[in-house]
Structure 1
């Protein structure tokens, strides 16, 4: 899958091949990899890729803000792709359900199958490939799997089999989860360490933009249905669209095989990200300051709760409008598309704002906004005379959702050593499986008190308030008001504090003999 270091062959150090390593990049050379391949005599490039050498010898974490623009922009294509894919699947699942099953439970099943891929991939093969073969190979594998998921749709459309559509959604989700394990971390660490959260929010803004355009194109162009056409004819037309997406995925995978993306090792991430308490012999103080990975664990929980609340809102958005604002049903799609546009705007605006105001404050503000708006939605649902306010709050809650996913991801990995950052990225992406678990629970609660009724919807929406509160709300509060966590985050993200802590040894350090895998 990737070339091995010459050190693995007798421990020889060939000048020009291994010279990119730093003195503090300690570790087991048997598990290390090149950041730049050796030249190919026949093609003037890499003998493994049969192409000329494209890879920079500079580590991703060593790039300046200007140097990081190109690689981050390239990977941002992937963010747009899975945003577009998510938008397409949302529309397609609704249409497939209305064509084949026409039940809300079947729609939830299709939706949960996609997010079920996040439950399987990150801690199994996706995480393994990422930890051992780096960013580029992980992108390629994820794109291929996602393309296979799109191709599987073809026979499912011919046979009109609901289990087949479940499998297609699951494989697609598995591919996107594989991409996401590596892509989020790549964008975060590629460039100055001060701006992890800002870079990730800006790149994920592309994902939100893809999620805006996909439903519009799907509804108006790609999956537009002639009233005179049969279900079979309509599904065949959709098959061609998915076949086109599959070929685009495979072409993009080939592109990433040759694209010049920087890599980095465990030790290099550690040098810019690991927080060590000031030279103290108080073991209890050190454990308290570092938190024993508590920031990561609560980040996984926050991601699990946030994604669940987000998908409850996404899946049940039309239902909320039809129940509480029946006079606005004809414009449901317009309101939902506008809400997605607000999410994209909030993510881009928040990313820019994080260059000037610490990300933890933005996180607290937006998490609080989610709690307040979802609580007001519950309150307004006791009467139907506030239909305009219900719609406005339904749109506003998505604006406040905007920065939560990327900010939770980046903040939760702050302070970890290199190998733990890669494991942590897998765990935080695992938290996205909340999108498969919480919507069925919401549906069960709502059905218990009456589906499609005021009382059932009102009681169900309490779950959204709870998820925002005990997930992102708790983590946002702790990173701002728990002194040890606030101290750690500021030390890793504020330039003046970084310079001071790097000089006294509070930040950084070697790997103590750990495997120096390419990240």
Structure 2
């Protein structure tokens, strides 16, 4: 895949120096995608861990995702305004610092043995991740030709999936395998999250020092050529894309959150949590592999068609998961990760396509829609409490059905009347 296209987003051929800067910027940004993927996937380990420590129901345990992804709803639009004022690079630095503060808050949460303080720490951490999302996603889209933006963002998202692939092993070894009494188990999260805080602060220092290309001039040129009135809400493909992000993130987060509990079911595998957590690697590893493949495939196949196909296959796999047992059910749910691979970057780039001066606002709206990761796991948690973990996997089918619609019909750019 070309990380540097022959034309930039303004339709002007970049000189070789600018092209090199684009390649260097994309390489640097992949480290951020890795880190927030790693941190987000650790929630899948925290949920069964904290559920056991604090004797929670499934729905109560899903408050982990509610607080984490609820931050997207609260701070996404303000983050868009911040990025517009201070720029992409400074937004990245500030986001990394806030995320580090959230990680450090895990230390007092464990010492106090308080579930509400854990939730507060997760919220602060997610505020930093949200600012990173709002800063980095449109930056990647802007670094090159518009028609290959989906492919470019898919490639960087592959490194996000590398983080989610590594995280379950990290969490299983350093968190779930620790002492069994409640106090010691709570404290088992302290060192891992302090290490993450240190890494985030190091990245903040690096990004404060790096000389990355300023994309504001290119974006202003594109903005000047488009509609200078109205708002991103006037574009139906953006609004429907926000719904797509809501249901996609909600479904993916919800599935990942239940994998450990699902594999522990006697009719599925009946394995211990620490062992079950390692299987999550295959779920997120499938997403990683699929993103590398998708980055190449979507150079030739329309993004909307690829999106609809993957969502349809995910529906079939979820139906198998809900009604099969043993290794068949395990394999089906893990393969959903492969289907998820291209969904977020593809929906994101289809939704901001053609927004011009409203791109920053559109990115904020899309990141706001990530709040789906807060609500859909709660609903699936309530279903798991009432009808069981396995049948609760029928709920994400509805989410993927909408994504099929968006890929085929809803993603076509259309500005509605003001």
Q: State whether TM-score is above 0.5.
A: yes
Q: Structure 2 CA distance, aligned partners of 1:390 and 1:191?
A: 42
Match of 1:501 in 2: none
Match for 1:182 among 135, 143, 149? 135
Match for 2:255 among 313, 324, 327? 313
After TM superposition, give the deviation of residue 270 of structure 1 in Å: 5.7
Which of these two proteins has the greater Rg computed from alpha carbons? 1
1:297 aligns to 2:229 (yes or no)? no
- Are the structure 2 counterparts of residues 61 and 103 from structure 1 closer, same or farther at C-alpha, using a change threshold of 3 Å? farther
Match for 2:277 among 319, 328, 333? 333
Match of 2:48 in 1: 94
Answer with 246-255 or 403-412: which moved more. 246-255
Match of 2:73 in 1: 119
Q: How does 1:202-281 map to 2 (within 5 A)?
A: 202-220=155-173, 222-223=174-175, 225-227=177-179, 230-265=181-216, 268-269=218-219, 271-272=221-222
- Are the structure 2 counterparts of residues 377 and 241 from structure 1 closer, same or farther at C-alpha, using a change threshold of 3 Å? closer
Q: Is the 8 A contact 1:273 1:415 kept in 2?
A: no
Per-residue CA distance 1:65-111 (angstroms, 9 max, x = gap): 65421101101111101111112232133223312334323311122
Match of 1:76 in 2: 30
Match of 2:110 in 1: 157
- Are the structure 2 counterparts of residues 308 and 327 from structure 1 closer, same or farther at C-alpha, using a change threshold of 3 Å? closer
Secondary structure, aligned partner of 2:283: helix
Q: Is the 8 A contact 1:325 1:391 kept in 2?
A: no
- Are the structure 2 counterparts of residues 372 and 411 from structure 1 closer, same or farther at C-alpha, using a change threshold of 3 Å? same
Match of 1:473 in 2: 404
Q: Is the 8 A contact 1:118 1:174 kept in 2?
A: yes
1:415 aligns to 2:367 (yes or no)? no
Flag the structure with higher helix content. Answer: 2
- Are the structure 2 counterparts of residues 371 and 233 from structure 1 closer, same or farther at C-alpha, using a change threshold of 3 Å? closer
- Aligned residue pairs total 400
Per-residue CA distance 1:202-226 (angstroms, 9 max, x = gap): 1011111111111102212x32645
Per-residue CA distance 1:366-397 (angstroms, 9 max, x = gap): 1222233223434xx1xx5x433211211111
Q: How does 1:396-407 map to 2 (within 5 A)?
A: 396-407=335-346
- Are the structure 2 counterparts of residues 237 and 68 from structure 1 closer, same or farther at C-alpha, using a change threshold of 3 Å? same
After TM superposition, give the deviation of residue 479 of structure 1 in Å: 5.6
1:356 aligns to 2:300 (yes or no)? yes
Q: Structure 1 CA distance, aligned partners of 2:405 and 2:349?
A: 16
Answer with 348-357 or 294-303: which moved more. 348-357
Match of 1:368 in 2: 312
Per-residue CA distance 1:157-201 (angstroms, 9 max, x = gap): 111011100101111111101110111111111122231011111
Match for 2:119 among 166, 171, 195? 166
Q: Structure 1 CA distance, aligned partners of 2:299 and 2:283?
A: 25
Q: Structure 2 CA distance, aligned partners of 1:206 and 1:400?
A: 16
Q: Structure 2 CA distance, aligned partners of 1:269 and 1:194?
A: 15
Superposition RMSD in Å: 3.0
Q: Structure 1 CA distance, aligned partners of 2:14 and 2:121?
A: 35
Gaps of 5+ in 2: 1-9
Secondary structure, aligned partner of 2:214: coil
Q: Is the 8 A contact 1:61 1:192 kept in 2?
A: no
Secondary structure, aligned partner of 1:356: coil
Q: Is the 8 A contact 2:142 2:215 kept in 1?
A: no
Q: Structure 1 CA distance, aligned partners of 2:248 and 2:73?
A: 15
TM-score of the pair, normalised by structure 1: 0.71
Q: Is the 8 A contact 1:127 1:423 kept in 2?
A: yes
Match of 1:447 in 2: 385
